[in-house]
Structure 1
Amino acid sequence: MPPPPRRPPRLRPQEPGPARTPPRAPRPPGSLRAPHGGARAGRGGRRRPPRRTRGAHRGRPGARAARLPAGRLPHAGHRGFWTGHDDRFLYMLMEFVPGGELFSYLRNRGRFSSNTGLFYAAEIVCAIEYLHSRDIVYRDLKPENILLDRDGHVKLTDFGFAKKLVDKTWTLCGTPEYLAPEVIQSKGHGRAVDWWALGILIFEMLSGFPPFFDDNAFGIYQKILAGKIDFPRHLEFSVKDLIRKLLVTDRTRRLGNMKNGAEDVKQHRWFRVVDWGAVPERKLKPPIVPKLCSEDDTSNFEAYPENDWTSAPPVSQKELDVFKNF
Structure 2
Amino acid sequence: MQPAALRVVKFLGQGGFGAVLQVKVHGKTLALKRLVNTNKRSRRIWDAFAAEVMVHQLMADHPAFPNVHAVFKGPGFLYVAMDCGVASFATIGRMSLRNALFYSGQLVLALHALHKRGVVHLDIKPENLLVGADGNLLVIDFGLARKLDSQPVDPSKFPTWNSVRLARTDRFPLLWVGPQNPHKDDVVCGTLQYMCPQIHFGLAYSFGADLWALGVVMHEWITGEMPDIYEVEGRNIHAWRASPKYWYSPVDRSFFAQIFCVDDPGRFAHYQELKAHRIWQPPNRSWDWNSLEKRQHCPPFSPG
Give the TM-score band, short-chain normalised: 0.5 to 0.7
Q: CA RMSD in A?
A: 2.7
> Residues 104 and 130 (structure 1 numbering): CA distance in 2 closer, same or farther, change over 3 Å?
same
How many residue pairs end up in the alignment?
A: 224
| 1:277 matches 2:290 | yes
SS in structure 1 at match of 2:300: coil
> Residues 191 and 253 (structure 1 numbering): CA distance in 2 closer, same or farther, change over 3 Å?
farther
> Residues 102 and 155 (structure 1 numbering): CA distance in 2 closer, same or farther, change over 3 Å?
same
- Distance apart, 1:272 and its partner CA: 1.7
- Distance apart, 1:73 and its partner CA: 4.9
Structure with higher strand content: 2
- Between 1 and 2, higher relative CO (CA 8 Å, sep ≥ 6) is seen in 1
| 1:161 matches 2:144 | yes
> Residues 239 and 162 (structure 1 numbering): CA distance in 2 closer, same or farther, change over 3 Å?
same
Identical pairs, percent: 26
TM-score under structure 2 normalisation? Answer: 0.67
TM-score under structure 1 normalisation? Answer: 0.63
The residue aligned with 1:298 is: none
The residue aligned with 2:11 is: none
The residue aligned with 2:218 is: 202
User: Distance in 2 between the 1:192 and 1:73 partners?
Assistant: 23
User: Distance in 2 between the 1:89 and 1:121 partners?
Assistant: 34
SS in structure 2 at match of 1:202: helix
Query: Which 4+ residue blocks in structure 1 deviate beyond 3 angstroms?
Result: 9-12
Cα distance per residue 1:245-301 (max 9 Å; x no partner): 11112266531xx2xx2111111111123401101211222111133xxxxxxxxxx
The residue aligned with 1:89 is: 77
User: Distance in 1 between the 2:265 and 2:15 partners?
Assistant: 26
User: Distance in 1 between the 2:72 and 2:229 partners?
Assistant: 38
Structure with higher helix content: 2
- Distance apart, 1:68 and its partner CA: 2.3
> Residues 113 and 89 (structure 1 numbering): CA distance in 2 closer, same or farther, change over 3 Å?
same
Cα distance per residue 1:58-102 (max 9 Å; x no partner): 3123111314233425221122121111341101111122x2101
The residue aligned with 1:114 is: 97
- Distance apart, 1:149 and its partner CA: 1.3
User: Distance in 1 between the 2:292 and 2:216 partners?
Assistant: 21
> Residues 182 and 57 (structure 1 numbering): CA distance in 2 closer, same or farther, change over 3 Å?
farther
Confirm or deny: 8 A CA contact 1:10 1:174 kept in the other structure: no
In structure 2, stretches of 5+ residues that fail to align are 1-13, 18-31, 150-182
Q: Which deviates further from its counterpart, 71-80 or 156-165?
A: 71-80
User: Distance in 2 between the 1:235 and 1:73 partners?
Assistant: 38
User: Distance in 1 between the 2:16 and 2:253 partners?
Assistant: 28
In structure 1, stretches of 5+ residues that fail to align are 1-8, 13-55, 292-326
The residue aligned with 2:241 is: 229
The one-letter amino acid paired with 1:162 is A
